[in-house]
């Protein structure tokens, strides 16, 4: 082999790559060494981090360059080569704490996003100096508060593009200097979005400054002022925002007409101004041809719909309901071919509806024209809108018959044509059975004086198989309950009330497996209450009721159940399980089997011809809320067992032949005298008739013991003699006191809750001064019982603002405008007057900013009054569970504030007040709210005024179902730890928005405490919170309160924290130093 000169070798490609990688890495190291995070930026961020906490660490380590930290981005400063922080972006990181002033040192910052966290406190004074360089500022969904600081810096700088301060707790007016800067930025072409919605800002909307007519080149595209406290008119100026696309200012107190220049902003695609007090006409709206959403509902707009409204051909949602609009539907409306939802309900619109051409509105899914005065027949062109799912034409003046063409609406699930003048009920039902998806059909108050449709073919072979709600009430139908109803196996609610239906109630109603709401009232029904009705599956079995399909209604149903105020229902399951049979001619006895209807909430058997006794088995209806038995021929006594119905809020047995004592205790102490009137043989405090000894004696068989009989006889004789003696002494003493024989005091019987009572003129206006505690009020120097009688209209029912186990509470408005709350105590007033006064005087020393102030008291011949400060916003229970929009107005910061305040009041009672007070009935209805939603604990110490007590523990359980600690069922002793349990339930109410016991929920989620424990055990604690609170940045904070609440509701009372610990934990919710000793 011949060896030649060796050729030079080329390194392999892999080696070349490695060498290049090393060179690049070495270069980056050099760059990093020469350019690192600016020292001032680094120190400023560290100062900020020391004042916040997070569920998981940010890992902002001083040993790591700040440009590498989470949420931080840097860029090189061309002047000195430093890396400056340009982005601080930490949304939804669970940050708690406050915004430290050091952030204003980040002078190169272009983007600051701390949204969806739990930051609190005021913004630093120099905070808006950041706007000199910022492009995006987003602090939305925090709990920042206070007034906004003024802008500091160069007004003419124009870098800011988006400013979002929505969903915080800011208040006051928007600073003019800030608005001037934003106006400059808008005019300079940078600012596109400004959002301050969901705060408490006041004053006028600053359109004249932010959208000046001189800023015709304004770049603003999005303005949101909604859900604040802005008032006054919308000033001219919006015309200057020539590129504006969305303008929202709903849920404020705006008034006056829409500014004319808003109609020049042709770029607008959305205007949302609902729930204000705006007025005037909307004619100019037709110029905004790019609109897709127009929401002006719940205002005071007048005049007709614009004739040229068809120019708004891009409209998808037109919501103008609840105004005072007049005139007819303009023909051009049919050109709005993209409409998906059209709601003009509750206006003054009129005209022949069938003359309007709906046939071009092919995308329409929801149409609501109810509560107007439209005439004509059902519009034939409507049947071309095959996408329709919900139609309401109720409460108009439509007539004629339903056309077969309606069968083209096969997507229709909701149809309400109630309160019109339709005819041919049988024909209507034969047609409508062909709508296979129909689930809600409301035809009430039509077909007047026709026969009740009884054609068996109405449901043959498969008609109405999805019907859940059927309304045929108020038609004056004659005939009987039709047998074809037996085929509606999905039927859940039926209304046949206010007809002339005769015959008996058919037993086959009991075969409808999902029926839980029956209204047959105001008919001519005869016969007995069929015992088969007591076997209705959905009313006897909670499991069957829970299995009933729950569906949301496409449009709300308005029910006028039992002739009371109209209620709105958005979900079928919200209808109460009820049987209304009142105002018929039913007879016989009420069957004892009625006790099987354990799911029933409301039962009306009033104004019939029922006889016999009231079955004690009604006490088995543990969910019963309303019971009407008035206007019958019932006899015997009111069963004592009925007082075990803890949810019973309305009860009437008036106008019967009942006798004996009215039960006391439980809910019976809250029912007014009108519940029992018309029964002359009833006795008790409710009817102001004393019961004779034999009436209150406990039934227990006859004794053959002659000595016992003789003893009773002697006692009776002695008692009679004693009574006569006392009476003589009393008459003499009265004559001595008042020689003229005229009474100078109000008799106890004259103090009544009967609204028909009058203030008694014979009362001495100077008599019976109310004892007022010093330094409690400046407005009232003295007060008499006469003035209280006058202020409450002699304790009229109309002035009742609350009721409970301790008595009724009345609103009293004094001549000087001062409003008080007067509690008229009921129950066994066992304390002597001297002891009672001593107890009240002791209670008056319990003074704390979170306790309802006891201002005074009055003891006057058999009744006792307590005078309290009146709370404008009522109770927490009202806002969480009764007020329609209450929960949505209680955001999480407000709910936390309520929990913190109430805990402080309870802590004062438990630990500071001498002697310590066990409340014994902590619940949401005993937490009252002032006009700023500050919490006050009410009804503290009342048990000591009425029932026996001891210093450390209190016997004779007082409590409310759902709040009572488990150990009370064993020992019947109220303790401080029991109060803590009840307060834990209140915290769970605030967190979840649920009642402590909600029988409308499925069985496994009916009891709040058990449901929360179950959810936590399954790791689903994040799903416990009220849906209205989710997604707003408070999740971690709510979980912390959930932990506190769950410790309070521990089954073991000795594992519950003291109220002092609870106060401290709630105070530190969100703080990094929160420590909970769970041992």
Cβ-Cβ contacts under 8 Å for 780 (sequence gap 6 or more):
772, 814, 816, 818, 855
Cβ–Cβ < 8 Å for 211, 244: yes
Residue 900 shares a structural domain with residue 1032: yes
Residue 630 pLDDT > 80: yes
Residue 203 pLDDT > 80: yes
In a domain, 583, yes or no: yes
pLDDT-based confidence at residue 946 (cuts at 50, 70, 90): very low
Residue 286 shares a structural domain with residue 389: yes
> Comparing 555 with 609, which gets the higher pLDDT?
609
> Quick one: pLDDT at residue 598?
92
Whether 921 sits among the annotated catalytic residues: the reply is yes
> Comparing 839 with 491, which gets the higher pLDDT?
491
CATH of the domain at 347: 3.80.10.10
**Joined tokens for residue 1070:** 């969100």
> Comparing 146 with 698, which gets the higher pLDDT?
146
Say what the pTM is: 0.65
In a domain, 177, yes or no: no
pLDDT digits (tens, 9 = 90+) for 738-779: 333 333 323 222 222 233 333 333 444 444 567 776 654 445
Closest CA to 292 of 264, 271, 322: 271
> Quick one: pLDDT at residue 781?
63
Residue 859 shares a structural domain with residue 941: no
In a domain, 605, yes or no: yes
What is the separation of C-alpha 964 from the centre of its chain, rounded to a whole number of angstroms? 23
Report the alpha-carbon distance of residue 724 to residue 730 in Å, rounded.
10
In a domain, 137, yes or no: no
Query: Which residue, of 400, 423, 457, is where some domain finishes?
Result: 400
Residue 315 shares a structural domain with residue 300: yes
Residue 839 shares a structural domain with residue 769: yes
Cβ-Cβ contacts under 8 Å for 507 (sequence gap 6 or more):
530, 532, 533
Residue 936 shares a structural domain with residue 1057: yes
Report the alpha-carbon distance of residue 886 to residue 1018 in Å, rounded.
30
Q: Which of 82, 921, 939, 979 is catalytic?
A: 921
> Quick one: pLDDT at residue 217?
58
Residue 601 pLDDT > 80: yes
- Tell me how crowded residue 263 is: count the other CB atoms within 10 A of its CB: 18
Question: How many folded domains does the chain comprise?
Answer: 4
**Joined tokens for residue 206:** 């600053």
Residue 31 pLDDT > 50: no
In a domain, 52, yes or no: no
pLDDT digits (tens, 9 = 90+) for 1033-1068: 888 889 999 999 999 998 888 788 989 899 989 988
pLDDT-based confidence at residue 710 (cuts at 50, 70, 90): very low
Residue 846 shares a structural domain with residue 899: no
pLDDT digits (tens, 9 = 90+) for 844-881: 767 788 888 788 888 766 677 888 888 888 889 889 98
pLDDT-based confidence at residue 916 (cuts at 50, 70, 90): confident
Give percent above pLDDT 70 in the chain: 79
Provide the pairing of β-strand 222-224 with 246-248. Answer: parallel
Closest CA to 1072 of 44, 71, 50, 121: 50
> Quick one: pLDDT at residue 835?
56
pLDDT digits (tens, 9 = 90+) for 414-448: 999 999 999 999 999 999 999 999 999 999 999 99
Query: Which residue, of 846, 869, 892, is where some domain finishes?
Result: 869
Residue 636 pLDDT > 90: yes
What single-letter DSSP state applies at residue 135? S
> Quick one: pLDDT at residue 888?
85
Query: Which residue, of 648, 668, 685, is where some domain finishes?
Result: 685
- Tell me how crowded residue 699 is: count the other CB atoms within 10 A of its CB: 6
Cβ–Cβ < 8 Å for 1032, 141: yes
Residue 359 pLDDT > 90: yes
Residue 22 pLDDT > 70: no
Q: Which helix (H) or strand (E) holds 645?
A: none
Give percent above pLDDT 90 in the chain: 49
Report the alpha-carbon distance of residue 415 to residue 392 in Å, rounded.
6
Mean pLDDT of 131-137: 87
Residue 925 shares a structural domain with residue 840: no
Residue 864 shares a structural domain with residue 917: no
CATH of the domain at 1059: 1.10.510.10
Locus of tokens 């105002």: 583
Report the alpha-carbon distance of residue 780 to residue 415 in Å, rounded.
57
pLDDT-based confidence at residue 262 (cuts at 50, 70, 90): very high
The secondary structure of 478-512, three-state, reads EECCCHHHHHCCCCCEEECCCCEEEECCCHHHHHC
In a domain, 1037, yes or no: yes
Q: Would you list which residues are annotated within the binding site for ATP?
A: 824
Torsion of CA 247, 248, 250, 251, to 10 degrees: -150
CATH of the domain at 825: 3.30.200.20
Cβ–Cβ < 8 Å for 422, 402: yes
pLDDT-based confidence at residue 1003 (cuts at 50, 70, 90): low
Which stretch of 129-133, 145-149, 832-836 has the lowest confidence by average pLDDT? 832-836
> Comparing 461 with 511, which gets the higher pLDDT?
511
Residue 858 shares a structural domain with residue 885: no
pLDDT-based confidence at residue 551 (cuts at 50, 70, 90): low
- Count CA atoms within 13 Å of residue 164 on its CB side: 19
Residue 813 pLDDT > 90: no
Residue 546 pLDDT > 80: no
> Quick one: pLDDT at residue 699?
37
pLDDT digits (tens, 9 = 90+) for 320-342: 999 999 999 999 999 999 999 99
Report the alpha-carbon distance of residue 998 to residue 346 in Å, rounded.
33
**Average pLDDT value for the chain:** 81
- Count CA atoms within 13 Å of residue 54 on its CB side: 17
> Quick one: pLDDT at residue 783?
80
Q: Would you list which residues are annotated within the binding site?
A: 824
Report the alpha-carbon distance of residue 696 to residue 685 in Å, rounded.
13
In a domain, 164, yes or no: no
Residue 837 pLDDT > 90: no
Report the alpha-carbon distance of residue 554 to residue 389 in Å, rounded.
7
Residue 4 pLDDT > 60: no
Which stretch of 77-91, 276-290, 582-596, 961-975 has the lowest confidence by average pLDDT? 961-975
Residue 830 shares a structural domain with residue 914: no
69: left (phi over 0), alpha (psi -120 to 50) or beta: beta
Residues of the domain holding 789: 753-869
Residue 366 pLDDT > 70: yes
Residue 535 pLDDT > 60: yes
Locus of tokens 């498969």: 462
> Quick one: pLDDT at residue 155?
60
Cβ–Cβ < 8 Å for 308, 285: no
The dihedral of CA 1064, 1066, 1070, 1076: what is its sign? positive
Residue 470 pLDDT > 50: yes
pLDDT-based confidence at residue 915 (cuts at 50, 70, 90): low
Report the alpha-carbon distance of residue 747 to residue 101 in Å, rounded.
68
Provide the pairing of β-strand 348-352 with 222-224. Answer: unpaired
What single-letter DSSP state applies at residue 642? G
> Quick one: pLDDT at residue 23?
44
Report the alpha-carbon distance of residue 601 to residue 584 in Å, rounded.
21
**Joined tokens for residue 199:** 């705060």
> Quick one: pLDDT at residue 935?
93
CA distances to 387, 699, 846, 922 from 679, rounded to whole Å, are 58, 21, 44, 36
Residue 792 shares a structural domain with residue 887: no
Residue 15 pLDDT > 90: no
Mean pLDDT of 697-704: 39
In a domain, 696, yes or no: no
């Amino acid at each position: 082999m011949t060896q030649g000169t060796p050729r030079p070798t080329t390194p392999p490609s892999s080696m070349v790559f490695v060498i290049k990688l090393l060179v690049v890495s070495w270069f980056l190291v050099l760059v990093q060494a020469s350019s690192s995070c600016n020292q001032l930026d680094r120190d400023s961020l560290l100062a900020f981090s020391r004042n916040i906490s997070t569920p998981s660490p940010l890992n902002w380590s001083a040993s790591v360059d700040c440009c590498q930290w989470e949420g931080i981005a840097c860029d090189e400063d061309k002047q000195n080569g430093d890396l400056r922080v340009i982005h601080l972006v930490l949304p939804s990181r669970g940050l708690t704490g406050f915004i430290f002033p050091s952030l204003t040192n980040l002078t190169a910052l272009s983007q600051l996003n701390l949204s969806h966290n739990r930051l609190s406190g005021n913004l630093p004074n120099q905070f808006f100096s950041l706007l000199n360089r910022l492009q995006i500022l987003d602090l939305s969904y925090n709990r920042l508060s206070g007034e906004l600081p003024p802008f500091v810096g160069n007004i003419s700088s124009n870098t800011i593009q988006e400013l979002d301060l929505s969903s915080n707790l800011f208040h006051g007016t928007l600073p003019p200097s800030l608005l001037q800067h934003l106006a400059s930025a808008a005019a300079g072409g940078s600012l596109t979005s400004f959002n301050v919605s969901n705060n408490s800002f006041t004053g006028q909307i600053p359109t004249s400054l932010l959208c000046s007519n001189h800023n015709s080149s304004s770049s603003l595209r999005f303005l949101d002022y909604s859900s604040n406290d802005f008032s006054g008119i919308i000033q001219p100026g919006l015309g200057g925002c020539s590129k504006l696309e969305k303008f929202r200012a709903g849920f404020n107190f705006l008034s006056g007409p829409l500014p004319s220049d808003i109609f020049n902003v042709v770029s607008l695609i959305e205007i949302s101004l609902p729930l204000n007090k705006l007025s005037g006409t909307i004619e100019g709206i037709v110029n905004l041809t790019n609109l897709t959403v127009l929401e002006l509902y719940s205002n005071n707009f007048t005049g007709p719909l614009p004739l040229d409204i068809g120019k708004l051909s891009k409209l998808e949602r037109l919501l103008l309901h609840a105004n005072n609009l007049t005139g007819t539907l303009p023909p051009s409306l049919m050109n709005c071919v993209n409409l998906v939802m059209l709601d003009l309900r509750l206006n003054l619109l009129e005209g022949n509806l069938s003359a309007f051409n709906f046939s071009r509105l092919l995308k329409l899914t929801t149409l609501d024209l109810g509560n107007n005065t439209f005439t004509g027949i059902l519009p034939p062109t409507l049947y071309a809108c095959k996408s329709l799912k919900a139609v309401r034409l109720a409460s108009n003046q439509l007539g004629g018959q339903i056309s077969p063409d309606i069968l083209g609406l096969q997507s229709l699930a909701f149809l309400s044509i109630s309160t019109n003048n339709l005819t041919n009920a049988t024909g209507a039902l034969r047609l409508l059975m062909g709508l296979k998806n129909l689930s809600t059909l409301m035809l009430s108050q039509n077909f007047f004086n026709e026969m009740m449709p009884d054609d068996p073919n109405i449901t043959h072979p498969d008609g109405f198989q999805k019907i859940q709600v059927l309304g045929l009430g108020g038609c004056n139908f004659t005939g009987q309950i039709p047998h074809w109803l037996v085929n509606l196996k999905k039927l859940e609610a039926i209304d046949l009330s206010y007809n002339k239906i005769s015959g008996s109630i058919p037993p086959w109603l009991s075969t409808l497996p999902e029926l839980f709401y029956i209204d047959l009232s105001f008919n001519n029904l005869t016969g007995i209450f069929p015992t088969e009705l007591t076997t209705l599956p959905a009313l006897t079995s909670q499991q069957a009721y829970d299995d009933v399909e729950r569906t949301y209604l496409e449009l709300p149903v308005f029910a006028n159940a039992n002739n009371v105020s109209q209620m709105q229902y958005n979900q079928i399951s919200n209808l109460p399980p009820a049987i209304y049979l009142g105002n018929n001619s039913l007879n016989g006895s009420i069957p004892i089997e009625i006790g099987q209807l354990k799911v029933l909430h409301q039962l009306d058997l009033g104004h019939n011809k029922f006889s016999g006794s009231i079955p004690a088995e009604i006490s088995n209806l543990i969910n019963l809320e309303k019971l009407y038995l008035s206007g019958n021929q019932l006899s015997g006594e009111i069963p004592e067992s009925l007082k075990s119905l803890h949810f019973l809020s309305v009860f009437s047995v008036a106008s019967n032949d009942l006798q004996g004592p009215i039960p006391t205790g439980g809910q019976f102490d809250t029912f007014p005298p009108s519940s029992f009137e018309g029964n002359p043989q009833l006795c008790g405090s409710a009817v102001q008739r004393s019961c004779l000894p034999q009436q209150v004696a406990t039934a227990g068989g006859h004794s053959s013991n002659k000595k016992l009989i003789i003893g009773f006889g002697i006692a009776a004789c002695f008692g009679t003699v004693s009574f006569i003696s006392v009476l003589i002494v009393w008459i003499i003493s009265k004559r001595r006191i008042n020689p003229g024989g005229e009474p100078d005091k109000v008799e106890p019987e004259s103090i009544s809750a009967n609204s028909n009572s009058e203030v008694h003129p014979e009362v001495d206006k100077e008599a019976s001064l109310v004892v007022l505690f010093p330094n409690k009020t400046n407005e009232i120097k003295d007060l008499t019982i006469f003035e209280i009688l006058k202020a409450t209209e002699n304790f009229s029912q109309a002035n009742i603002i609350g009721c409970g186990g301790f008595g009724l509470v009345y609103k009293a408005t004094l001549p000087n405008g001062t409003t008080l709350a007067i509690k008229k105590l009921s129950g066994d007033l066992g304390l002597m007057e001297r002891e009672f006064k001593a107890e009240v005087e002791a209670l008056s020393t319990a003074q704390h900013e979170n306790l309802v102030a006891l201002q005074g008291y009055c003891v006057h011949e058999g009744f006792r009054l307590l005078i309290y400060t009146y709370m404008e916003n009522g109770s927490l229970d009202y806002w969480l569970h009764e007020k329609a929009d209450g929960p949505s107005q209680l955001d999480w910061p407000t709910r936390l504030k309520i929990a913190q305040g109430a805990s402080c009041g309870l802590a004062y009672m438990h630990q500071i007040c001498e002697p310590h007070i066990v409340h014994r009935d902590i619940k949401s209805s005993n937490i009252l709210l002032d006009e700023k939603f500050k919490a006050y604990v009410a009804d503290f110490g009342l048990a000591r005024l009425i029932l026996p007590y001891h210093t450390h523990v209190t016997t004779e359980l007082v409590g409310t179902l759902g709040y009572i600690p488990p150990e009370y069922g064993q020992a019947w002793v109220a303790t401080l730890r029991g109060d803590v349990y009840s307060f834990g339930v209140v915290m769970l109410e605030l967190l979840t928005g649920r009642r402590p016991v909600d029988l409308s929920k499925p069985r496994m989620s009916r009891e709040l405490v058990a449901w929360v424990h179950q959810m936590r055990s399954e790791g689903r604690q994040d799903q416990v919170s009220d849906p209205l609170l989710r997604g707003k940045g408070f999740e971690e904070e709510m979980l912390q309160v959930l932990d506190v609440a769950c410790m309070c509701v521990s089954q073991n009372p000795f594992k519950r924290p003291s109220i002092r610990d609870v106060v401290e934990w709630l105070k530190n919710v969100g703080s990094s130093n929160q420590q909970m000793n769970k041992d």
